[in-house]
Amino acid sequence: MPAIVIIGAQWGDEGKGKATDLLGSRIDYVVKFNGGNNAGHTVVVGNEKYALHLLPSGILTEGVTPVIANGVVVDIEVLFEELDALTARGVDVSRLKVSSNAHVITQYHRTLDKVTERFLGKRQIGTTGRGIGPTYADKINRVGIRIQDLFDENILRQKVEAALDQKNHLLVKIYNRRAITVDEIVADLLSYADRLRPMVADTSLLLHEALEAGKHVLFEGGQATMLDVDHGTYPFVTSSNSTAGGAATGSGIGPNRIERVIAVVKAYTTRVGAGPFPTELFDESGEWLRARGFEFGTTTGRPRRTGWYDAPIARYSSRINGVTDFVLTKLDTLTGLETIPVCVAYDVDGVRHDEVPASQSDFHHAVPIYQNFPGWSEDISGVRRFEDLPKNAQDYVTALEAMSGSRISAIGVGPGREAIVVRHDLLD
Ligand code: IMP
């Protein structure tokens, strides 16, 4: 089974790094195919905690080749900072490969991200401010800078000129900021070229050859299904395809290579940034989930919005991504609750909707219809077999499975790599 995709089923921060770890030594390549340093994986190895934003989490596993593919937007300064920080902690990062077609986040993208958010006022998206949206906008507008442009000064200068031409008008006349010069951007980008050159590769060809040779290639989605630019809660989304289909376009492999799609889903729901969130809690239960689940952003440190599990969203994810297996994370966070509500459908202006409504306005009006499940109080963090979970925890998982559209193959019961209950082998 050569190509496997891991994506988030909700609004991100489901704990995808943990699912990646579960596949561990059987994976040869870990590919990031969308997003940039807006992501945040926290990976705990032994007593060490690593927070990665741009690099694929597979960089921490010895023997794995990490790949940043064409669908990613790369802030090169951040890339080097993350590589240096890992090297200082003894991690071997020498195998990293970066696609020559990936787009580059520059200073003007970061600036535009921040000023446009400010100008949106109450309507702002709550972006991470890392320049992600403006970089993807340039890519689609065909005025982007790609990694390969850094190796031809002449071409680079022409492209930066074309990009800045319009943007300086915007920055100066609309946003009241200073103009950015072509020279400063070109000098900045060229200063990265020598260090970057050995990492750059034709990653589509590299992955093709790996798959032909029967290697295991894991495609790790940044963000999550409900933040996908096409299938998420638009416009409160990120600017890339974070669903499973993005793995093919974002890396240059054929879609029929993908044999397994693993969706990571939290036992409750969180969201950072603005946008609809039907099961959001504004009372002490929401505070309780935030505190118990340490729900603060890895990238921005913002407190995450919290709410109960939303089964229609899980079913939607299952459908959009072609999910073969769910990994349910953070079940232990719910320990101690007397009852656990689960959203089974929505009431939209008096009409029951069993599926995620196709209309944005309907989704904004969706009021959850809950079913209550009895909780458990036993510490489950040491449990490794499903049968050893408290009966109510088992029933909670089986009920979610029946509502969510695909089997739940593994269950996270604590923060450590080993704190997981496996029901079905993810590579079987
Ligand atoms: P952007 O990706 O910075 O443009 O932000 C767009 C939206 O996606 C905002 O609501 C962010 O909070 C959200 N977002 C981006 N990356 C992540 C992530 O890794 N986890 C959760 N939310 C994210």
* In the chain, where the domains are located: 3-98+200-262, 103-194, 264-422
Could you tell me if 223 and 242 are in contact, meaning their C-beta atoms sit under 8 angstroms apart?
yes
Enter the pTM of the model. Answer: 0.95
| Rounded distance between C-alpha atoms, residue 343 and residue 373, angstroms | 11
Active site residue 53: no
CB crowding 205-221: b at 16 or more within 10 Å, else e: ebbbebbeeeebbbbbb
Ligand 1 centroid, distance to 327 Cα (angstroms): 21
Res 42: pLDDT? 72
Query: Which of 13, 21, 310, 325 does the annotation list as catalytic?
Result: 13
User: 294 CA distance to ligand 1 centroid (A)?
Assistant: 18
Buried b (16+ CB within 10 A) or exposed e, 263-275: bbbbbbbbbbbbb
Buried-exposed string 102-123: b where 16+ CB fall within 10 A, e elsewhere: bbbbbebbbbbbbbbbeeeeee
Class of domain 3-98+200-262: alpha beta
For residue 7, give the amino acid letter. Answer: I
DSSP β-bridge partners for residue 372: 341
Q: Which CATH code of 3.40.50.1370, 3.90.170.10, 1.10.150.110, 3.40.718.10 fits the domain covering 264-422?
A: 3.90.170.10
Instruction: Give the least confident one: 52-66, 264-278, 306-320, 344-358.
Output: 52-66
Residue 6's φ and ψ, nearest 5 degrees, are: -115, 130
In angstroms, the CA 289 to CA 125 distance is 24
Asked if the bond preceding 235 is cis, omega within 30° of 0, the reply is yes
Mean pLDDT of 206-230: 97
Q: Is 40 in the pocket of ligand 1 (CB under 6 A)?
A: yes
Q: Which of 244-248, 269-273, 310-314, 414-418 has the lowest mean pLDDT?
A: 414-418
Sheet arrangement for strand 407-412: 200-201, 97-99, 65-68, 29-32, 217-220, 3-8, 258-266, 325-329, 407-412, 420-422
What is the CA(213)–ligand 1 centre distance, in A?
36
CA of 382 to the centre of ligand 1 (A): 32
127 ligand 1 Cβ < 6 A: yes
Whether 130 is in the pocket of ligand 1, judged by its Cβ within 6 Å, is: yes
Atom 21 of ligand 1: nearest residue by CA position: 12
159 — pLDDT class (breaks 50, 70, 90): very high
For residue 8, the ligand 1 atom closest to its alpha carbon is: 20
Q: What is the average pLDDT across 76-104?
A: 96
**pLDDT at residue 391, as a whole number:** 98
Q: What is the mean pLDDT of residues 39-59?
A: 81
Asked if residue 12 has its Cβ within 6 Å of ligand 1, the reply is yes
Is the Cβ atom of 227 under 6 angstroms away from ligand 1? yes
Query: According to the model, what pLDDT value does residue 262 have?
Result: 97
- Verify whether ligand 1 is closer than 6 Å to residue 238 (CB atom): yes
> Quick one: average pLDDT of 410-417?
92
What share of the chain in percent tops pLDDT 90? Answer: 85
Helix H or strand E encompassing 77: helix 76-88
Are the C-beta atoms of 130 and 37 separated by less than 8 Å? yes
pLDDT of 71:
98
Ligand 1 pocket test: which of 43, 123, 227, 265 has the largest number of ligand atoms within 8 Å of its C-beta? Answer: 227
Q: Which long-range contacts (CB under 8 A, 24 or more apart) does 364-368 make?
A: 364/276, 366/276, 366/278, 367/278, 368/278, 368/279, 368/308, 368/310, 368/341, 368/343
The more confident residue out of 212 and 416 is 212
Ligand 1 closest atom vs CA 128: 3
Give the residue-averaged pLDDT of 52-75: 92
Task: Measure the CA–CA gap between 11 and 302, rounded to whole angstroms.
Answer: 14
Could you tell which of 270, 272, 304, 306 is best to mutate to test the pocket of ligand 1, judged by most ligand atoms within 8 Å of the CB?
A: 272
Report the alpha-carbon distance of residue 337 to residue 341 in Å, rounded: 10
Judge whether residue 148 has pLDDT over 70.
yes
CA distance 386 to 422: 7
Please tell me the predicted confidence (pLDDT) of residue 1.
Answer: 60
Q: What is the CATH number of domain 103-194?
A: 1.10.300.10
Catalytic residue among 21, 41, 75, 228: 41
Q: Tell me the mean pLDDT in the region 148-177.
A: 95
Choose the weakest-confidence range: 16-20, 365-369, 407-411. Answer: 16-20
Q: Which atom of ligand 1 is nearest to the CA of 239?
A: 4
The pLDDT confidence band at residue 41, using thresholds 50, 70 and 90, is confident
Does the beta carbon of 13 sit less than 6 angstroms from any atom of ligand 1?
A: yes
Q: 105 CB less than 6 Å from ligand 1?
A: no
* Segment 241-257 mean pLDDT: 97
Q: What is the pLDDT of residue 360?
A: 93
- Average pLDDT in the chain: 94
Residue 41 annotated as catalytic: yes
Task: Indicate whether residue 75 lines ligand 1 (CB < 6 A).
Answer: no
The number of C-alpha atoms within 13 Å of 129 and in the hemisphere containing its C-beta is 10
Look at strands 339-348 and 269-271 and give their pairing.
unpaired
User: Is residue 132 lining ligand 1, measured as CB closer than 6 Å?
Assistant: yes
Instruction: Give per-residue pLDDT as tens, 277-323.
Output: 999 999 999 999 999 999 998 777 889 999 999 999 999 999 999 99
Shortest CA distance to 199 belongs to which of 51, 283, 76?
A: 76
59 — pLDDT class (breaks 50, 70, 90): confident
- Residue whose CA is at the smallest distance from ligand 1 atom 19: 39
| 125 Cβ inside 6 Å of ligand 1 | yes
> Ligand 1 mean position to 236 CA, how many Å?
9
